[in-house]
Chains A and B, each alone.
Chain A
Amino acid sequence: MTERKLTMSRAIVEAIDQEMARDPKVFVMGEDVGPYGGIFGSTTGLLQKYGEDRVRDTPISETAFIGTATGAAAEGMRPIVELMFVDFFGVCMDQIYNHLAKNTYMSGGGVRLPVVLTTAYGGGYSDAAQHSQALYGVFAHVPGLKVVVPSNAYDAKGLMIEAIRDDNPVMYFFHKGLMGLGWMTSPATAATPVPEEPYTIPFGKAEVKRSGTDLTIVTVGLMVHRALEAAASLEKKLSIEVIDLRTLVPLDRPTVVASVKKTGRLLVVDEDYRSFGLTGELAASVAEADVPMRRYRRLAEPDVPIPYSRPLEQFVFPSAETIAAAARAAVA
């Protein structure tokens, strides 16, 4: 039997479709989620199947429609709402972090907000500083949001179903360059076999994608593929363990700590900005666990806005080559 392979966007749509079929309270809204099917293909075909009542195109009013998701969720609905690019959070952050993220806490647990806020992140195609950021670190920093960053189609489906069934706000980040769009190249490894039946992947469980003994590389999203490529290119010289975190909130610290205990060396690769983010958080987590670490290195966006021109942009994002170089340096 041949296994059915899906792109990440098809896997996401299948997850949403199956949950909409299962639960009439699940609905979708956002910009261009209807006839267009989502600018990055995250809602393709849902309108045709479920109609305008449950698949709602919105005006360009992120404050209004994200706040609407919060209000509808408080009444028992389970909205999936799309912020087209995570970069656009500036126009609606109040509704996200002052309301969606805090109302459960401020109500002493009395208010439940089962909202999935999907958003596209990431660069690599010359979209410049306002359409290329990762920014998941910002949302992982603010208490009250679960943060999911799938790296492949199989995880994307399981994590999406888990997100929809969660009674808390979940920010679901998908990298544009993993979706398998006809107009943007994805790594071949992002499309994977995906079971047709619904399944869930629990949050807070990292996956060891490749085991090794010399160095631990931890990353998320698109960078998982580049880290694996780097590890493969070095396999005759180095035994590298690659960990895909899959979710940032909750964060699977034990898996990272256990790996560093074994390898003694940690390299964190991050498409997000370097300072005050994932890379520092993991260093602190290992240090707090009293694990002796012979080497810690990080490779991340070097705290500059994402530049437009191809050579400039390629300079700021980790690549398989720069990851391999950092790995060699970390073990040397």
Chain B
Amino acid sequence: MQLDRDKLLWMYRTMLLIRRYEERLVDAYLEGKMPRFDIGWGPIPGEMHLAAGQEPVAVGVMAHLRKEDTVTGPHRPHHLAIAKGVDLKKMTAEIYGKKTGLGHGKGGHMHLFDPAVKFSCSGLIGAGFPPAVGAALAAKMQGKDWVAAAFAGEGAANQGSFHEALNLAAIWRLPVIFVIEDNSWAISVPRSKSTAVSSNADRAAAYGVPGVLIPENDALAIAEAAGVAVERARRGEGPSLIEIRTFRYLGHFQGDPETYRPKGEVEELKKRDGIARLGRVLTAQKLLTESLDGELRAGVERELDDAFEFARSSPYPEPADALLHVFA
């Protein structure tokens, strides 16, 4: 499936939006946490897992998805949520714990739910695979050509939920795309110490489904593989598995001392940054000029200004609102 100019520019701009969103979150998260870091302090308390470096995965897959398609994400969800089209203002407000947030301040950054674009995520590793199978089952039973994509890190591929869900989706030939974001690190444990096979794509064979390894953190290569998987799913031919070697620039969570990480690793990865990479390709194809790039970046900043302003200026929930919404 050929990506047109608009889609390619959407991919580039969305990656910029994700990167800048998280750069702003890095700063916002540190507010109230200096000079002494306490995870419970500041306008954004709690854990914060950022996806800087993994933007190509989000846009490469989401380039093929529609609003009606379902996405489930893991505890590191911002790139996926933004690329799926989750309301950025409400998402930011949720992260700030505000009443106007997606979950009225009940979920926070690991638990973002936007039914309008069928996005959800979970703080439990590998937990998003089974609900994606369920969404795909619902689509199939209702005669729709909608698909579901489940994203998780390479650490999640050692959870039973991954294998159970792959098997179930395969038996029932459900339209699910399993996407493994291999950023090499499960918190501090490297892939070599967690995974018996060289690529999780090899595990697809165990369930009789296609498995593809994308060895580069390249949005276009990811989009090509995802296009094949999504089309296959829409045709009713069943699930696929894609593993992508992607990059985690930051710690597992903000505040992670990363003593386990080889010195200089991140600097080397950044030389192969996925955003700059797509930018070079688009420039070479004359789809992107310096002035258009400037326009896109300025637009991103304005969008982010609005989202963060909305979040900061929104009211907190009433404390006793904690008692609401246990049941629908």
Contacts and interface: CB of A to CB of B under 8 A. Distances in A.
Interface of A: 27, 53-54, 56, 58-59, 61, 63-77, 79, 91, 94-95, 98-99, 103-113, 143-144, 146, 167-168
A108 B167 contact: no
Nearest to B166: A64
- Which residue, A77, A99, A105, has most C-beta atoms of chain B within 10 A? A105
Nearest to A81: B134
Contacts of A105: 106, 325-326
Interface in B133-180: 133-139, 141-142, 148, 160-161, 164-165, 167-168, 171-172
Interface stretch (B29-37, B107-115, B219-227, B260-268): B107-115
B137 A68 contact: yes
B120 interface: yes
Main secondary structure of the interface of B (DSSP, over half): mixed
A64 B161 contact: yes
A102 to B, nearest CB: 8
B134 A104 contact: no
A107 B103 contact: yes
A105 to B, nearest CB: 5
Given A63-B130, A98-B127, A144-B327, A75 B135 contact: yes
B130 A67 contact: yes
Given A64-B161, A98-B127, A71 B167 contact: no
Given A76-B138, A107-B107, A111-B120, A67 B115 contact: no
A75 B138 contact: yes
A65, A74, A94, A108 — which one has the most chain B CB atoms within 10 A of its CB? Answer: A108
Contacts, number: 153
8 contacts: A63-B165, A64-B165, A103-B113, A107-B103, A107-B120, A108-B101, A110-B113, A110-B115
A106 B134 contact: no
A162 to B, nearest CB: 14
- Nearest first, the 4 closest Cβ-Cβ pairs linking A and B are A67-B130, A71-B134, A71-B131, A108-B104
A102 B226 CA distance: 31
A71 B137 CA distance: 8
Contacts of A103: 113, 120
Contacts of B132: 71
Contact of B113 (A69, A71, A73, A107): A107
Nearest to B94: A108
B83 to A, nearest CB: 20
Interface residues of B, number: 45
B276 to A, nearest CB: 36
B8 interface: no
Contacts of B138: 71-72, 75-77
A110 B164 contact: no
A71 B326 contact: no
Nearest to A73: B134
A94 B142 CA distance: 28
Contact of B131 (A54, A74, A108): A74
A71 B139 CA distance: 11
A68 B107 CA distance: 21
Contacts of A168: 327-328
Contacts of A104: 325-328
Contacts of A71: 70, 72, 130-138, 148
B320 interface: no
A61 B164 contact: yes
